[in-house]
Amino acid sequence: MTTTIAITSGKGGVGKTTVAVNLALSLALQNKETLLLDADLGMANAHILLGINPKYSLEDFVTGNSPIDKVITTINGNLKFVSGGNAINNLLNLSDLERHKIIKSFNDLKKKPEFMLIDVGAGAESSSMTFMSSADKIIVVITGEPTSFIDAYTLIKTSFLDHKMNNFGIIINMASSPIQAKLNFDKFQSITQKFLDVNLKYVGQIPNSQKIRNSIISRTAVVSSKNNNIETKAFNELSSKLLMVETNKTGSIKFFDN
């Protein structure tokens, strides 16, 4: 049985892809078979953080040039990756039918992973909503900035009112301290639940870190088997709590018909 988790955010620049990549690596290092799908089709860049340049991407699958199995790149023993290509390809304007084709294709995998993380495009665009509603669980990455709160609220409002998603995990990124991160979550939860009947679960925080910024510049993820720093510990703690987030029952097609 595969647990599918969409990683999203209300706006760009809050570290969504960094979170998705490092959570996937953390799960893999815990011997969980994990598949990371880069579904941020306008800004697909998870491969950059992984330090790889895959030969095939979702575009090869959508155009019929490759079966889904061939589009999957093996990163290490437990982590596999599907590239979204790049922003200049034809995936920006996929039809609903093509997006559904991508989602249903994962049922055909001979060996299904324990976890599938989907790096979804920021904001409440149609493509993002489709991939989010097709996942079991949703993680929203926010920072303590007011604009991040506003955009994340808009994302959750659209997800709830238009697509019947009501369960969301919240990760606070770039936190100045664990205490401040929890205060930011409490504030965001108070604002959100005042107007929307949704369930927000605090998954945890990632420290404001120069090491993480350096990892983005150097095209290397901060989580690795060689690191036991506070950043790696933070991602390991987050990955251990992902299953706490409640599942959304939207009635949409799912990545895996469990």
- Give the pLDDT confidence of 153-196 residue by residue, as tens digits: 999 999 999 999 999 999 999 999 999 999 999 999 999 999 99
Q: What is the pLDDT of residue 258?
A: 53
Which pTM value belongs to this model? 0.95
Q: What is the pLDDT of residue 166?
A: 97
**Distance between CA atoms of residues 213 and 222, nearest Å:** 9
CA nearest to 173, candidates 204, 132, 199, 147 = 204
How many other C-beta atoms are found inside a 10 Å radius of the C-beta of residue 163? 17
Give the architecture-level CATH label for domain 3-244: 3-Layer(aba) Sandwich (3.40)
**Distance between CA atoms of residues 136 and 148, nearest Å:** 24
Q: What is the pLDDT of residue 103?
A: 94
Domain edges within the chain = 3-244
- What SS3 string covers 72-90? EEECCCCEEEECCCCCCCH
Q: Read off the tokens for 168.
A: 């969301």
Q: What is the pLDDT of residue 28?
A: 96
Q: What is the pLDDT of residue 219?
A: 84
Residue ranges for the chain with pLDDT beneath 70: 86-92, 225, 258
